[in-house]
Amino acid sequence: MRHVRLLLVFILLTLLVACGGKIEENISEQLPEFEYTTQNGETFGLNDLKGQWWLASFVYTNCKTVCPVMTKNMAKLQQELKENKLDIQIVSFSVDPEFDTPEVLKQYAKDYGVDFSNWTFLTGYQFKTIQDLSMNYFKTSLQKASPGTGNDQIAHGTSFFLVNPKGKIVKKYDGVGEEGQKQAILDIKALQ
């Protein structure tokens, strides 16, 4: 009888371990290789992120609507990750690379209290490049304002994205509401 109990405990533990480290995915796209410019003027790309889980967002510094909220939320999320000792990188892609130089991005990040130890802001590409990455891989919208409308705001998605260590986008979260941040923390805890 004792052997049966030990066998059952072993099977149960094996099943629990096998199930651990999984999250419910809601997107599945492999990112192409990329290499852009950081807020420090350095080259940074997908190879620098290989082997690590990371979160991504799309923002720009002249945004008057959702970007301030998204950046504030990601800064809160960064703080929560640190408090929970969760090791994850954060990457914010500028959707206005013509205006968002490394210096502009660095000042923007400082204004939000960003800790650069695990958060990188990227620029140094053409708008078409980031539009392709946004729409075809992250499956989120990105459109420039129509000329002559007097509107200079770029329309873009408001999600945060979780990318696995192999460069595959596996989950997207609401970047403007609190629930997205809470779910991201729960998922990252489950993965580490």
**Sequential DSSP letters for 74-143:** HHHHHHHHHHTT---EEEEEES-TTT--HHHHHHHHHHTT--TTSEEEEE-S-HHHHHHIIIIIS---EE
pLDDT at 42 over 80: yes
Name which of 121, 54, 56, 120 is nearest 94 in CA terms.
121
Q: What single DSSP character describes residue 163?
A: E
19 is in an annotated binding site: no
Mean local confidence (pLDDT), 22-32: 92
Q: What residues does each domain of the chain span? A: 26-191
pLDDT at 170: 97
The response to whether 63 counts as a known ligand-binding position is yes
User: Which has the closest alpha carbon to 77: 95, 96, 92, 62?
Assistant: 92
Q: Percent of the chain scored above 90 by pLDDT?
A: 77
Instruction: Give the model's confidence band at 163: pLDDT under 50 very low, under 70 low, under 90 confident, else very high.
Output: very high
pLDDT at 45 over 80: yes
pLDDT surpasses 50 at 9: no
- Residues in contact with 39: Cβ distance below 8 Å, sequence separation at least 6, in sequence order: 102, 105, 106, 109, 116, 120, 121, 123
Taking 60 as the threshold, does the pLDDT of residue 55 lie above it? yes
Question: In the predicted model, is pLDDT for residue 148 greater than 90?
Answer: no
Whole-model pTM: value is 0.86
> What average pLDDT is seen over the chain?
88
Q: In 10 A of CB 7, how many CB atoms?
A: 10
H helix or E strand, kind and range, residue 24: none
Domain 26-191 -> CATH class? alpha beta
Mean pLDDT, to the nearest integer, of 50-57? 97
